[in-house]
Structure 1
Amino acid sequence: MITLSPSLRRASAAGLALVACLTASPAVAIATARPAADRDRAATTAGDRTGAGAGLDRYYRQRLAWGTCVQGPDDAMGHDLEKAGVQCADVTVPLDYAAPRGRTITVAISRLKATDTRHRIGSMLLNNGGPGGPALESPPDVRRKMKAVGPRYDVIGFDPRFVGRSTPLDCGWSVGTSILSAGLGRASFERQVTFQKGLADKCRSTNASVLPHISTRNTARDMDVIRGALGERKISYLGYSYGTYLGTVYTQMFPGRFDRTVLDGAIAPDDYGPRLLQGAEPENERAFSDWAAWAARRDGTYGLGRTRAEVLATVRRVLAASARRPLTVGTAPEVFHLDDTHVPSLLTAGNADDTDPRRAALSEQVSVLAKAADGKSTRLSPQFATALRGMLTGEDMKSAMAQSAIICGDKPAPRDPERYWRDIERSRAEHPLFGPLTNNIGPCAFWDRPREEPTQVRHDAPALLVAATGDPRTTYKSSLALHRLLPSSRLLTLKGANRHALYGEYGNACVDAKVNRYLATGKLPKNDESCVKPTD
C-alpha cells in the first residue's frame, strides 16, 4: 500500500484499495419519510444554532463532553493522542435524519485545539478516504503537515458513522477486502459471484435496519451537526481520495457552511460509485510499467528481470501459476494461499505510490510470489505478512464492511452477473492484469437499492483541488472534471507523479507550501498552479 500517516495507511488498505471499487449508474429513488431537499434545508436552518428545524436543533445544540481518548490500558492510539494533547468526544446524531426523534447513533470525534488563539482561524475537519477510513487519530499528524499555520486551527478528526470508534457495524465477515480480481477464467469469476453475494447477504441479514442509513449524504449531515456542536458558523475541511467526494457532497448539501476546503486526489461525483476504477486501466498500467522499469534496474536485488519487459513477463508467469494452483507463501505457523483473484489485488494495492520505499516493498512482494510460483519456500517480511493478514484473514474487516456499506448505499451497481462478465472479457484483451479487477463484480450487485439519489453538483464551491497527473486511483481526468463542475475552484497539479494522496504525505515541498499558503490566507490562487516531481 502507499506510505501514509497511520490513519491514511488504513484508508489505503481499506479504501484507497477501494483500489478497484469505487462508473456510476443512475440511482433509483426510493421514497423516504421526507424529501431529501426539504430535510437538508431544515438541517441548514437548525445548523445556524439560532433556531429549531425538523427536530434537529437538539443535535446541533448538544454540549460535547470532551475527555480522554484512552479506552483502556492497551489502547496505544488513545495514549498517543493523549500525549499529543488531543481530547475526544462522542457526537449524537440521528440514525435517520427523516426521523430525528427516533433511534440515535454516535460519531466519535477528536480535537487538537489551536494554540495560537490570537490568530485562530477556526476548526478543520478531516477525512482520510476509504470510504471506511477513520480519522480520529489524525489531528497530530495533520498539525505537523500544516507547519506554521497548524496552531491557528482546531484540528478535528472524526470516524464517520459506523467506522472505527463510532457506532459499529458488524456484517460478520471474515475477510479484509471485497476488492478482488475475477481471475483468468469463467470458473474463478463464478466463485467471485458466489463470494460477493455471500458477503451482501450476510451483512443484510444482521443489519437490515441500519444499512439504508449508511451513506455519504448522511455522513455529510453528520458533519454539519459536528460543525454546529462545535459552535462554528463555517468549518474548514481536508479530504483525501473518497474524502474529496464527501467534501464535494457537503458543499452541495450545505452551501455557505464551509470555509477553506482542500480536496486531495479529487474525484468527480459521476466517477464515484461501486465501479470506481472501471476506465482507469491505462493509468494503472502506466504506473505499473514505471515500477517494472524501476525493478529492472535493481535485478540484482529482486531477481525479477533485467528489463521492463522481463519484469512484466515475470508478473504474467506468477499470475498464470496462481490460476493453476494457489501459491503458498510464508512459513508455519503463518501460511497464506493466493490464487488468481488475490494476486492482481495485491499488485494493484502496491501500485499507487512511486516512492522508492513503496516500489521496493512491491518488488519484494513480487519476488516472494515468483519464488512461490516456482515451488520454492518463501519467508515474508513483517510488512508483507501484515498486508496478507489484512486481506485474507479479516484483520481489516471492519473497514471493509463499512466501505462496502457506504459505497453500496450511495449508488446502485448493475445487478446482472453477465454484464460484469462481458465487461471483464472486453477489457481483458487490452488490459489482462487490471481489467478483470476493475470490472469485477462486488457486493453492491446484491445490495438493496440506495434510499436517496446521488448528489448532483448544482452550486459552485471555491475549493483547492490537488491532483497528480499519474494518479492510478482517482485519475487526473476525474480531477479535471470536478474542476470544471466547480468553476471557482483552483487545481494544483503535481506533474510526473504516479501517486495517490499528496499533501503532507508525498514529501513534495512545492505542493505542501501552496496548500499551507491557502490554509493560512484563505485566498485561492488567481489561476491554476502546478508543481513538478523531481527526477529520479
Structure 2
Amino acid sequence: MKRTKGLTAALTAVTGLVACAGLIGCAGPEAEAKPETAVPDRFYSQQLDWKACGDPKLDEAGAQCADVTVPLNYAEPEGATLTVAISRIAATDPARKHGVMLSNPGGPGGAGLDFMVDVGKAMTPDVRASYDLIGMDPRGIGRSSRIQCHWPVGMGLRSAGVDAAAFAESAAAQADLAARCATEEAARLPYITTRNTARDMDVIRGIFGVDRISYYGTSYGTYLGAVYTQMFPDRSDRIVLDSAADPDNYGTVGMMQAMGPANEAALDLWADWVAARDGEYHFGTDRAQVRGAVQDLIRQAADKPIRLGEYEVDDHWLPLVLFVGLDSPQQYGMLAGQIRTLADAAAGKPVELDETLNATLGYALKARPEDNSPQMAVLCGDVAAPRDPAFYLRNVEAARATQPVFGPFSNNITPCAFWAPPAEPATQVRNSVPALIVQSTGDTRTAYDGAVALHRDMSASRLVTLKDVPIHWIFGRYENACAYSAVNTYFRDGTLPAEDVTCRAD
C-alpha cells in the first residue's frame, strides 16, 4: 500500500490541522441574527445597460445581458459593491405577459446565465409567452465578481479513500484549499452566501418594476428559492423547486450524508445495466460481479494511481467519476465506458480518453477551466461545519459496511471544517408561500426525503413525485409528460394541483 499510517497516527496528524483554523478566521462564535438593513433606493432603481451576451447559446436564443450593482454587505449598503450578471429572454407575447421568472441551476457554484435556454424548451408556448426568463450568475460565480481562490485542483469534494491514512491526506488537502481561499478572498468570502443572493434577487425584482417574481430552481437552486420565499414571502409569485434540498439538512454534512445511500442504490441499478451488457463492458454478468470490479478498481487506484494521459486518478477521485455519472439513467452507457477506460488504463492497456471523461477529470483534478471554489464559498458561508476531523473519520468508517463506494465520499471532511464561521445564522424555512416541488424518488444529489421535508416546511406547497427514476433535475432534462404538465400548468395559470401528484416514467 502507498499509505501505512494506522488509525491513531492518522487521527493525530489530522487533528493538528485544526490549529490552522485560527489563521483563516475559524475562531469565535457565529454571528447572531440581525434585522434587515434598509437598502438604498438607488440599487432598486438602477437603469441597466442591456447588450448582446457574447455567448453563442444565449445569443442564438435572442437573449440580452446586463450587469446589476449590489452591495457586497447588505448590512453596510454604502460600502463596497459587487456586480451580478443577468440575462433576459423576453416573453414571446408581451400582450400576454404575466411577469418575470428568475432562476438558478444549482451547485451551489453553478453559473446560470444560459440556464433558462434549456428550461425554456420544456415550457409550452403559452408559458413562454407569459414570462421574461431571467438567467443569473449568482454573486461570486461566473461573470458575477467571481471568487478566485486559485486552487491546485478543481473540486472541494472528494472521497476519503480506502483507509485512515487516505483520510489524513484528504483532510490536509481540504485544509489547504480553505487556507488558499482565506488568503485570496478574505474580504469577500463572508458575503458570498445564499441569503445575500436572495437579497440580490429582490434588487433585480425592483429593477424590473414588479411586485413579485416567479422562480424556477433545481438542486441547490431549490434551497435558494426556499430561502427567498422565507425572506420575501410577499414578493414571491409562482415558485417551482425541482429536485429539492431539505433546508434543515442543507450543508456539507447532512446533505452530503443523504447522498450516500441514494448513490449506492443508483450504483446497483447501473451495475444491473452493465451486467446485462457484459459482452461490451466485461465487468461481470450480475450486480455483485460488477460492483466487485468497481471496488477492486478503487483499491487498485489506492495502491497505484491510474495514469490516464495527464491525469492520475486515485481512490479520492475515482468515486467522483461515478458520482458525476450516476445522476441520470441516460448516462449509464457513458459512465460504463469511462470506467472501462479507467480499468484498461490500470491494466496497462492503451486507451483513448474520451471527451466526457476528459471534462470530468479536467474539472476535478486540473481546475479547468476554473476551480469550483465558489461552491465552497457558498456552502461554508451558509452553514457551519464540525471542526473535529475525528468526527468525519468515524462517520466514514461507520458507513463503509453498507456504503462501500460512496460512504467515504458522502461522509468525508470538506474545506468547511477549516472555514471562517458564517456571518449570519442559517435560514430556517417555515412558511405558507405556495410552491410546486418536483422530485424523483431515486435522486442521487438531493435525496427524496429532502423534498418531503421541504414540502412539510412550506405548508402551502404541492409535491409532484416521479417514481422509480434515478434522475436529478427533471423539468428541462428528463422529459416526463406528467411532471411537465404539472409545471407548465402552474406557470401558465398559477393553479397548483388539488393534491400531491405521483408520476411514472413515460
TM-score, structure 1 normalization: 0.87
RMSD of aligned residue pairs (Cα, Å):
1.4
Say if 2:429 is the partner of 1:481: no
Say if 2:228 is the partner of 1:256: no
Say if 2:296 is the partner of 1:300: no
Contact 2:260 2:409 in 1 (8 A): no
> Which residue of structure 2 lines up, in the alignment, with residue 423 of structure 1?
395
Over residues 163-189 of structure 1, what are the superposed CA-to-partner deviations in whole Å (9 max), with x where a residue is unaligned? 111112111113111111010112111
Q: 1:524 aligns with which of 472, 477, 496?
A: 496
Shift of 1:463: 0.3
Say if 2:307 is the partner of 1:314: no
Contact 1:336 1:388 in 2 (8 A): yes
> Which residue of structure 1 lines up, in the alignment, with residue 314 of structure 2?
339
> Which residue of structure 1 lines up, in the alignment, with residue 103 of structure 2?
126
Q: What amino acid is the match of 1:301?
A: E
3-state SS in 2 of match to 1:383: helix
Q: 1:66 aligns with which of 46, 50, 60?
A: 50
Q: What amino acid is the match of 2:168?
A: E
Contact 2:465 2:503 in 1 (8 A): yes
> Which residue of structure 2 lines up, in the alignment, with residue 11 of structure 1?
none
Q: 1:211 aligns with which of 160, 171, 189?
A: 189
Shift of 1:372: 2.5
Q: What amino acid is the match of 1:368?
A: T
Shift of 1:396: 4.7
> Which residue of structure 1 lines up, in the alignment, with residue 136 of structure 2?
158
Shift of 1:381: 1.2
Distance 2:56 2:158 in 1: 35
Q: What amino acid is the match of 2:74?
A: Y
After the TM superposition, which residues 485-524 of structure 1 pair with which residues of structure 2 at under 5 Å, given as runs?
485-524=457-496
Over residues 488-525 of structure 1, what are the superposed CA-to-partner deviations in whole Å (9 max), with x where a residue is unaligned? 10000100101111012102122112211111010101
3-state SS in 2 of match to 1:470: coil
Distance 1:462 1:492 in 2: 14
- Structure 1 172/280 Cα, relative in aligned 2: closer, same or farther at 3 Å? closer
Shift of 1:138: 2.3
Q: What amino acid is the match of 2:48?
A: L
Contact 1:175 1:396 in 2 (8 A): no
> Which residue of structure 2 lines up, in the alignment, with residue 279 of structure 1?
258
Q: How many residues align?
A: 477
Contact 1:296 1:308 in 2 (8 A): yes
3-state SS in 2 of match to 1:141: helix
Contact 1:109 1:159 in 2 (8 A): yes
Q: 2:270 aligns with which of 291, 295, 307?
A: 291
Distance 1:415 1:155 in 2: 41
> Which residue of structure 2 lines up, in the alignment, with residue 141 of structure 1?
118
Contact 2:106 2:218 in 1 (8 A): yes
Q: 1:438 aligns with which of 400, 403, 410?
A: 410
Over residues 7-56 of structure 1, what are the superposed CA-to-partner deviations in whole Å (9 max), with x where a residue is unaligned? xxxxxxxxxxxxxxxxxxxx95315xxx53x21xx5xxxxxxxxxxx342
> Which residue of structure 1 lines up, in the alignment, with residue 63 of structure 2?
86
Say if 2:443 is the partner of 1:466: no
> Which residue of structure 2 lines up, in the alignment, with residue 267 of structure 1?
245
Say if 2:56 is the partner of 1:56: no
Shift of 1:422: 0.9
Contact 1:28 1:453 in 2 (8 A): no
Distance 1:361 1:111 in 2: 33
Distance 1:422 1:141 in 2: 42
> Which residue of structure 1 lines up, in the alignment, with residue 19 of structure 2?
none
Q: What amino acid is the match of 2:42?
A: R
Shift of 1:326: 0.4
3-state SS in 1 of match to 2:84: strand
3-state SS in 2 of match to 1:246: helix
Say if 2:78 is the partner of 1:106: no
Say if 2:217 is the partner of 1:239: yes
Contact 2:154 2:370 in 1 (8 A): yes
Contact 2:319 2:409 in 1 (8 A): yes
3-state SS in 2 of match to 1:176: coil
After the TM superposition, which residues 285-434 of structure 1 pair with which residues of structure 2 at under 5 Å, given as runs?
285-329=264-308, 334-355=309-330, 358-398=331-371, 400-434=372-406
Over residues 228-285 of structure 1, what are the superposed CA-to-partner deviations in whole Å (9 max), with x where a residue is unaligned? 0111110000000000000000000011101100000011111110122213322211
Q: What amino acid is the match of 1:352?
A: D
Distance 1:499 1:141 in 2: 16
Shift of 1:473: 1.2
Shift of 1:314: 0.8
> Which residue of structure 2 lines up, in the alignment, with residue 13 of structure 1?
none
Q: 2:424 aligns with which of 424, 427, 452?
A: 452
Contact 1:28 1:452 in 2 (8 A): no
3-state SS in 2 of match to 1:218: helix
Distance 2:102 2:39 in 1: 25
Q: What amino acid is the match of 1:273?
A: G
Distance 1:55 1:289 in 2: 51
- Structure 1 234/188 Cα, relative in aligned 2: closer, same or farther at 3 Å? same
Over residues 99-141 of structure 1, what are the superposed CA-to-partner deviations in whole Å (9 max), with x where a residue is unaligned? 0001111100010111211111100001000001111112332
- Structure 1 453/190 Cα, relative in aligned 2: closer, same or farther at 3 Å? same
> Which residue of structure 1 lines up, in the alignment, with residue 9 of structure 2?
none
> Which residue of structure 2 lines up, in the alignment, with residue 49 of structure 1?
none
Q: What amino acid is the match of 1:94?
A: P
Instruction: List structure 1 runs of 4+ shifted beyond 4 angstroms.
Output: none
496-505 or 424-433: bigger deviation:
424-433
User: Percent same amino acid among aligned pairs?
Assistant: 46
Distance 1:526 1:28 in 2: 45
Contact 2:430 2:458 in 1 (8 A): no
> Which residue of structure 2 lines up, in the alignment, with residue 21 of structure 1?
none
